[in-house]
A and B are shown apart, each in its own frame.
Chain A
Amino acid sequence: MGFLRATLAIALKDLRIERRSREVLNVAFSFALVVLLLFSFTFDPSGEETRAMSGGLLWLVFSFAGTLALNRSFARETANQCLDALVSAPVSGAAVFLGKALANALLLLALELACLPVFGIFYNVRWSVSFGWLLLVMALGTWGFTVVGTVFSALTVNVALREIMLPLLVFPITVPALMASVQLTTVLFTGEPIAAEMVWLRLLFGFDLIFTLLGLALVEYVLVG
């Protein structure tokens, strides 16, 4: 099976599972709402300062909900020895990785888009202004987080305390992507011109490129051992 066809097949498989069970979206979205609630107690939602922090708040919500989603990515394959079947199938590990990463990224993006209106209402933030740019930032930021998270989801599939290990391993590495996404999102929310922050966009793009390549190159070792 060609690389792209295999990748697509795996991505569609994961998305189909999610569409049937909705296990990730329901839980992760509920969790995101809970986090938004918690933030309302720790920060004053109406203050002008909150608007300056809005990018950070939003991406924290995305990150926490995201780890829930990413955990499931390889964890759901452990039942019925699906993971062994995947690994021994005539598709390269890289295709499995890319397919799963694509599915994860799309799920996370859907989750984030669902969160936006809620966030806008709770914190009085206008997010629809430069929506094209916002979508780009969300896509790039989510991809960076997803790519590292998917590799580590495979890495931790058999580890004790997997749910805690995944964020512990992922976050220190994805800090730059988070930083860039927050910076860009805050600028978009406060209505400042994005031209000044182009360097962050370049950083985000570079981050995505580097870790996608690393993931493609190394995931075989994780899957096969």
Chain B
Amino acid sequence: MKTLTAVTAVMMVAALYLAFVWVPTERSMGIVQRIFYFHMPSFVVAAVAIYVGLAASIGYLASRDLRFDELAASSIEVGLVFDTVNLATGPLWAKPVWGIWWTWDPRLTSAFVLWLMFIGYLLLRRGMEEPGTRAAASAVLTVFQAVGAVIVYMSNRLWRTQHPQPVIGGGAGSGLDREMWVALLGCLAALLALYICLLQLRRRLERLRRETDGLRRTLYSMS
């Protein structure tokens, strides 16, 4: 864990350098455009988080091993953090550049729907005590949500082709220079490392909870 944290720290510093110093300032949007280098990768990490959650959920349903459930819950919670960052930084980039805080384009709408899905998952878990039923319910929910998220994005894109709207963040065709790609991918790598770090920290919490649950059961059986 210590090496992981150290590596992540180094990658974050490198990413900061890439995004704020190395990459040239974008011509039309100016310095504010640099928000893009941590705004976009945050969404990618959130998407990775839900698909890790999906894999873990399928793993639980197949094996009934609670460790899969712990991984799923941890991934979803960390994913929520990254999606929150995405949703929070988006408007701060959009307002100075495009003059509006928000638009219901496919990307932003999907980010918001994903956020609501994360919240729903975590609230469901909070309302269920028994680990087995909670794990099964969460797993089924994640499968539905992960599939649903893709369909939401696709249907939003379909809607957009019929009702063109202001697209924040440049259209699909807007190109990125080679250096911008490097900065973007560098930041993505650093944020993925951060995701793994936070994931491990969160999983530790689940393991502790499992231990306390076990002790509580022992205590109960002794009385």
**Interchain CB contact under 8 A, A222 and B137:** yes
A221 and B113 CA atoms in complex are apart in Å by 25
Given A169-B124, A225-B133: A175 and B144 within 8 A (CB)?
Answer: no
A171 vs B147: C-alpha distance in the bound complex, in angstroms?
14
**For the complex, is B185 an interface residue (Cβ under 8 Å from A)?**
no
Q: Take A160-B127, A222-B136, A225-B133 as given contacts and tell me if A155 and B113 are in contact as well, using a CB distance cutoff of 8 Å.
A: no
The reply to whether B123 and A165 contact each other, CB–CB distance below 8 Å, is yes
Report if A65 contacts B (CB, 8 A). Answer: no
Q: Which of chain A's residues have a CB closer than 8 A to the CB of B145?
A: 172-173
Q: Which A residues from 135 to 191 make CB contacts under 8 A with B?
A: 148, 151-152, 155-156, 158-161, 165, 168-169, 171-176, 179-180, 183
B132-171 CB mask vs A (1 if < 8 Å, else 0) is 1100110111011101100110111011000000000000
Task: Tell me the smallest distance from the CB of A161 to a CB of chain B, in Å.
Answer: 6
**Does A175 contact B140, Cβ atoms closer than 8 Å?**
no
- Give the secondary structure class of A's interface: helix
Q: Complex Cα distance A199/B136, Å?
A: 35
Contact B143 A176 (CB under 8 A): no
Asked whether, in the complex, the Cβ of B143 is within 8 Å of the Cβ of A214, the reply is: yes
Q: How far is the CA of A156 from the CA of B137 in the complex (A)?
A: 8
Q: CB within 8 A of A151: which of B117, B140, B147? A: B140
Distance to closest chain A CB from B52 (angstroms): 19
Query: How far, in whole Å, are A173 and B114 apart by their CA atoms in the complex?
Result: 10
User: Which residue of chain A is the closest to B132 with respect to CB atoms?
Assistant: A225
B128 an interface residue at 8 Å Cβ cutoff?
yes
Question: Which of A23-31, A38-46, A79-87, A203-211 lines the interface with chain B?
Answer: A203-211
- A150: min CB distance to chain B, Å: 12
Interface size on A, as a range, is 20 to 34
B152 and A176 within 8 A (CB): yes
Q: Do B144 and A173 touch across chains, with their CB atoms under 8 A apart? A: yes
- Candidates A175, A183, A222; contact of B152 at CB < 8 Å: A175
Evaluate contact between A155 and B141: CB separation under 8 angstroms. Answer: yes
Q: Which residue of B lies closest to A178 (CB)?
A: B155
Residue of B nearest to A223 (CB): B136
The answer, yes or no, to whether B61 is at the interface (CB within 8 Å) is yes
CB-defined contacts of B123 to chain A, threshold 8 Å: 165, 168
B81 to A: closest C-beta gap in Å:
18
B137 closest partner in A (C-beta):
A155
Distance in angstroms between the alpha carbons of A105 and B125 in the assembled complex: 28
Q: A168-B123, A169-B124, A179-B159 are in contact. Are A225 and B136 (CB under 8 A)?
A: yes
Q: Which of B117, B140, B147 contacts A222 (CB 8 A)?
A: B140
User: Hey, which bits of chain B sit against chain A, CB under 8 A?
Assistant: 61, 113, 116-117, 119-120, 123-124, 127-128, 130, 132-133, 136-137, 139-141, 143-145, 147-148, 151-152, 154-156, 158-159
In the A-B complex, list the 8 residue pairs whose CB atoms are closest, starting with the nearest: A173-B148, A176-B155, A159-B127, A160-B127, A225-B133, A172-B116, A169-B120, A176-B151
